[in-house]
Structure 1
Amino acid sequence: MTELSGIAGRQPVVDLRSDTVTKPTPAMRAAILEAEVGDDVYGEDPTVAALEAKVADLFGFEAAAALFVPTGVMANHIALRTLLRPGSELIADADAHILAHEDAGLAWHGGIQTRTTLTSDGLLSPDDVSRLIRPHSPHTLGTTAVELENTHNRGGGSVYSIEHLRAIRQIADAHRISVHIDGARIWNAHVATGTPLREYGAVADTISVCLSKGLGAPVGSVALLAPDRRAEAVLMRHRLGGGWRQAGILAAAGIYALDHHIARLAEDHANARLLATSLQSAGLSARTPQTNIVLVDVPDAPAVAARAAEQNVRVSAFGPALLRLVTHLDVTEKDCLLAAEVLARVA
């Protein structure tokens, strides 16, 4: 491979494994320090309540529809469990995060059956959904809901257009099935397309959103669901070990992230494009990103990742022959150029 030039010397670690590796900014730490708190298990933390109301309003849900939880896995699990009972069937892309990276939680805890299909970019088409829906009958487990991941992690940050989502919503309505959006990185989709968050809310029965990925909060996700299912969701969160006390110190970080870190995601997208084009110029098979995730095809991904780590560049081996590189608020243009140089050298 041709090496990239222009950057010399040993550099600090450039961590492109995920947008979850960010550290709270000084201003976010100040917001944490100043947070008003209470015992959230008793429903008495005002900052948690403010975060939940804020996220609900952003997506056009009622304030009572939002529930702050520790993790994205829990947010997905709780939201989907409010739509599906044990023995229900869920349609999803075969590489969806809920299937590839959540340790079979839906099956283990929820008894939920999935019906899947492989897609080229992780995005189910309206035809895919129509084909996969099964009617209920004495001999057939009918479909209850469809799950859509926006942006799609294993699809390289691919984005559902709002027109695409509306078409699937129409199909779901015609068959009386529900729609869940795994919106862990929906903020990236919003910035990349300009689609208002309320338009995403209008096509979904439930949504999960993450505050600790591109937005840079240290921990936390929010599940959006029907207001009359919130009490059930709170109980489920407690059963899963997700009841927390003075959680306002975490909610304050989430509020700060929502107020200050959404628009700047455009910088991450620009850095991802710079990273991809730099790798392509060096002769590597990097896929052009839509958002902040760059996938790179290499013969031996674990070996390349290990060699890059020795050069202070951390990337994820996303499969035997696939690397994932994720830009975020702790990554600069200079970091991307350095990472491209190192990867060109060690691939």
Structure 2
Amino acid sequence: MAEHSLVDLRSDTVTRPTPAMRRVMADAEVGDDVYGEDPSITALEERVAAMFGHEAGLFVPSGTMGNQIGMRLVCEPGQEVLCDADAHVVTYEMGAAAAIFGISTRTVVSAGGRLDAAQLIEQVRPRDNWHLTGTAAIAVENSHNRGGGLVQPLAELQELWNWSRRSGVAVHLDGARVWNASVAAGVDLLTYGRLADTASVCLSKGLGAPVGSVLVASAERIATARLWRKRLGGGMRQAGVLAAAGLHALDHHLPRLAEDHEHARLLAKRLGVDPASVETNMVVLDDVDAPMLAEAAKAQGVLISQVSARRIRLVTHLDVDRAGIDRAADLLGGLLDR
């Protein structure tokens, strides 16, 4: 089947630059960013930092690099980061915190990824006890990928932040899809940003840019982050062509995320999933023969993700329109009815 006829619901990472985005990339003003001379990157970093209420930003190639540098800024080797057991930073980032930075991670099993501030705080270990690995930071993911795109409760985020100011334990936000959380919950980005010491936000998922994330923090921390980016091989030259895509996405693709959420709820309803359980752009099918369903759907031009042998994840995004949603619903509904 021709590529253009595929309905790809595996992830919102499969989005491709729109024609308008490609035009601004082609026309981007560029310079050598390692020398701090790329105006498009500077504009993107300053804009994203301001959106989240931070002093400075750093453009990085991936969300994984943004997360790992962000955690290193607030956690020393030999200390630990505490997070949810299904968090992206400990599930999909190849043990980078330990392998590269000497940072330990410890996890807490939550109710499907939903943040419970008191539960996390209870597990924090002091840093002044030489018998223990001290907890330097807590990482929070919003929205939560393996939680099916759930949005973290603002009250819990606020409680964690208030406690962190008293305790000296930092908060890192994995905000890969914080844009979705903001649109779904009606919470502005400034509020989310001000509840974290460091935050990594992704441009190449729902916003549709081809590459890149931005790490935001204080100016002092971002200056250190630039050193870590260079050490990790993330220094980029005339990367303003990529930053231009991010700027275009911020101008044009933020409000339309609500359409993806609507499509996800529609898809859920068509497949017998409670639409109220769909908070952003992800639909989870549990207790299904995932390998069979994925293979049968692929044979007919619909791509879906197997989370496990009994779980499927469907992710809506700007490259799948209403017709594509209907086609996927018809096909998957028929397969599920067999």
Normalised-by-shorter TM-score class? over 0.9
1:85 aligned to which of 57, 76, 83: 76
- Residue 107 of structure 1 aligns with an amino acid whose one-letter code is A
| Partner residue, 1:307 | 296
Instruction: Indicate yes or no: 2:332 matched with 1:340.
Output: no
Shift of 1:69: 0.5
| Partner residue, 1:4 | none
Instruction: Indicate yes or no: 2:99 matched with 1:112.
Output: no
Shift of 1:286: 8.4
State the distance in 1 between where 2:217 and 2:63 align: 14
Task: Compare 121-130 and 208-217 and name the one that shifted more.
Answer: 121-130
- Residue 49 of structure 2 aligns with an amino acid whose one-letter code is A
2:49 aligned to which of 45, 49, 56: 56
Give the length in aligned residue pairs.
332
Contact kept, 8 Å, 1:123 with 1:149, in 2: the verdict is no
Instruction: Indicate yes or no: 2:66 matched with 1:75.
Output: yes
Shift of 1:155: 0.2
Q: 5+ unaligned residues in a row in structure 1: which ranges?
A: 1-10
Tell me the TM-score normalised to structure 1 length.
0.93
2:137 aligned to which of 138, 141, 145: 145
| Partner residue, 1:323 | 312
State the distance in 2 between where 1:260 and 1:228 align: 31
Contact kept, 8 Å, 2:266 with 2:275, in 1: the verdict is no
- Residue 16 of structure 2 aligns with an amino acid whose one-letter code is K
State the distance in 2 between where 1:286 and 1:345 align: 19
State the distance in 1 between where 2:118 and 2:156 align: 11
Aligned-partner SS, 2:106: strand
| Partner residue, 1:126 | 117
| Partner residue, 1:32 | 25
Aligned-partner SS, 2:208: coil
State the distance in 2 between where 1:308 and 1:174 align: 52
- Residue 141 of structure 1 aligns with an amino acid whose one-letter code is T
- Residue 88 of structure 2 aligns with an amino acid whose one-letter code is H
Instruction: Indicate yes or no: 2:278 matched with 1:289.
Output: yes
State the distance in 2 between where 1:194 and 1:342 align: 33
Aligned-partner SS, 2:130: coil
* Alignment CA distance shift 1:295-1:287 (3 Å): farther
| Partner residue, 2:13 | 20
Contact kept, 8 Å, 1:274 with 1:333, in 2: the verdict is no
Structure 1 runs of 4+ off > 3 angstroms? 284-287
Contact kept, 8 Å, 1:94 with 1:118, in 2: the verdict is yes
2:94 aligned to which of 72, 87, 103: 103
Cα RMSD of the aligned pairs, angstroms, is: 1.4
Aligned-partner SS, 1:330: coil
State the distance in 2 between where 1:138 and 1:163 align: 34
| Partner residue, 1:271 | 263
State the distance in 2 between where 1:149 and 1:239 align: 26
Instruction: Indicate yes or no: 2:252 matched with 1:260.
Output: yes
Contact kept, 8 Å, 1:16 with 1:316, in 2: the verdict is yes
Aligned-partner SS, 2:296: helix
State the distance in 1 between where 2:294 and 2:215 align: 34
Aligned-partner SS, 1:144: strand
State the distance in 2 between where 1:109 and 1:242 align: 14
Shift of 1:287: 8.1
1:202 aligned to which of 185, 194, 208: 194
Aligned-partner SS, 1:20: helix
2:239 aligned to which of 232, 236, 247: 247
State the distance in 2 between where 1:295 and 1:132 align: 29
State the distance in 2 between where 1:218 and 1:183 align: 17
Contact kept, 8 Å, 2:216 with 2:222, in 1: the verdict is no
Instruction: Indicate yes or no: 2:171 matched with 1:171.
Output: no
Contact kept, 8 Å, 2:142 with 2:175, in 1: the verdict is yes
State the distance in 2 between where 1:287 and 1:155 align: 14
- Residue 232 of structure 1 aligns with an amino acid whose one-letter code is T
Shift of 1:342: 1.3
**Residues 193-232 of structure 1 aligned to structure 2 (within 5 Å):** 193-232=185-224
Shift of 1:230: 2.0
Aligned-partner SS, 2:285: strand
State the distance in 2 between where 1:30 and 1:189 align: 29
What is the aligned-residue identity percentage? Answer: 51
Contact kept, 8 Å, 2:265 with 2:275, in 1: the verdict is no
